[in-house]
Structure 1
Amino acid sequence: MEFTRIISIEDPLFAKMHTLLGEVFPPEEVLEFDLWKEPLEDPGIRVFVAVEAGEVVGATEYRYYPQWNIAMTDFTIIGSPGKGIGRFLAKKREEDLKQLAQSNGKELFGMFAEIYDPYEREDFDFGGIMAMNPYVRREVLSHLGYQRLDFAYVHPSWKNDGEAVEGLDFCFMPLDETKEIQASLIVDFLTDYYSVLSNKPKRWIEMIEELQNKETVRLLPL
């Protein structure tokens, strides 16, 4: 299995990855094909696929923010079971992020992730791939060290239609024994992360305003 970076929508592997995205995630979570052009060309956005016999069997997108010394996991896809794809992607991502942090003269502080909450919303089928079942994924991410940030979370739809997407928790995986993080870090990160979307839902704006009135946010079990 190969860990291959995609930097252009012209790469044939990208079309295969985008098809896999559409099979696994709900429509409001998938950026349109052509809108991937600039993100893929951004050196700070790292999109890798797991390739076996020329086919994309898994994928992960993540990014490192040197100004905050944190990372964000955008998504991880396991295309088929029984191949160790999840572990392969997680280890390769960890190695890459550690190198990026070392190049920044630091040890990685931690990583954000949006994690589906099937206890709130159960209509996720993720293309019928059991390895992507939200109950399974939630427990795997908990084992990796992710914890839930203590606030009610919504995010803007990637359709840029002004709708608020529910059914997720915003989480953080500290690489030390941190029990809370600065609310300002969350605000700065989310504001930057969703800056590409011009049509923000009212509920998202209110969430950001509430966070701006806090000093810290607790980390809770996932």
Structure 2
Amino acid sequence: MDYKRITRINDPLFFKMHELMKNVFPKEEVLDYELWKGPLEDPSIRVFVAVHENEVVGATEYRYYQDWNIAMTDFTIIGQPGLSIGRFLAQNRSKDLQELAQANGKELFGMFAEIYDPYKVAHYEFGTVKPMDPFVRREVLSHLGYKRIDLDYVHPSWNNDGEAVKGLDLCFMPNDENVHELPSQLVADFLTTYYTVLPNKPSEWLEMVNGLKEKETVDLFPL
């Protein structure tokens, strides 16, 4: 299996990746094909696919924020069982991020991720690939070391229609597992920067971010 970066929209592997995304994620979670041109060309956004026998069987997108020495996992896709795709992606992503942090003269502090909470939502419109089941993914991410941020979390819909998307937790995987809280300002600054691309913010999201700014720290709980 090969770990290949995609940096242009006309890469044949990107078409395969986008089709895979549509097969496993709800519609409102998938950015339109044409809108990917900018993100793919952005050097701070790292999009990689797992290629097995010339087919895209997995993908991950993430980014490293040099000033904060943190990362964000945008998504991880496992296209089929039985190939250890999740482990392959996680190991290669971790290696890449550690190299970026080392080039910044630091050891990576940790990584954010939005994680579906199937205990709150009765049904998700996901594809039929069992490793992508929200219960499975949540437990795998817990095993990796992610912790739930104590926050009534919503995020803006990627349809950019101003709707609030619920049913997820914002989580953080600290490099030091003894870290049990984060500076609230870090979380607020990260979310503000991360969602700059979506100008239509729902009122619930604005209230959530403003609430973070009024606190000193926010707790990390078991996932």
1:124 Cα offset (Å): 1.6
- Structure 2 length-normalised TM: 0.99
Code of the aligned partner of 1:129: V
Q: Distance in 2 between matches of 1:127 and 1:205?
A: 31
Indicate the residue corresponding to 1:174 in structure 2: 174
- Count residues with an aligned counterpart: 222
Indicate the residue corresponding to 2:67 in structure 1: 67
SS of residue matched to 1:23: helix
SS of residue matched to 1:162: coil
Q: Distance in 2 between matches of 1:134 and 1:160?
A: 24
Indicate the residue corresponding to 1:111 in structure 2: 111
1:125 Cα offset (Å): 4.4
Indicate the residue corresponding to 1:14 in structure 2: 14
1:123 Cα offset (Å): 1.4
Cα deviation per residue 1:66-122 (whole Å; 9 max; x = unaligned)?
A: 000000000000000000000000000000000000000000000000000000013
Code of the aligned partner of 1:32: D
Gaps of 5+ in 1: none
1:126 Cα offset (Å): 2.1
Q: Distance in 2 between matches of 1:31 and 1:123?
A: 21
1:132 Cα offset (Å): 0.5
Runs (4+) of structure 1 moved beyond 3 Å? none
SS of residue matched to 1:141: helix
Task: Calculate percent identity across the aligned residue pairs.
Answer: 67
Code of the aligned partner of 2:72: M
Q: Distance in 2 between matches of 1:193 and 1:110?
A: 16
CA-atom RMSD in angstroms: 0.6
Q: Distance in 1 between matches of 2:2 and 2:53?
A: 9
Answering whether residue 26 of structure 2 is matched by residue 26 of structure 1, we say yes
Indicate the residue corresponding to 2:52 in structure 1: 52
Indicate the residue corresponding to 1:37 in structure 2: 37
8 Å Cα contact 1:163/1:200 also seen in 2 = yes
Indicate the residue corresponding to 2:219 in structure 1: 218
Code of the aligned partner of 2:19: T
SS of residue matched to 2:159: coil
Q: Distance in 1 between matches of 2:25 and 2:71?
A: 22
- Structure 1 length-normalised TM: 0.99
Code of the aligned partner of 1:59: A
Gaps of 5+ in 2: none
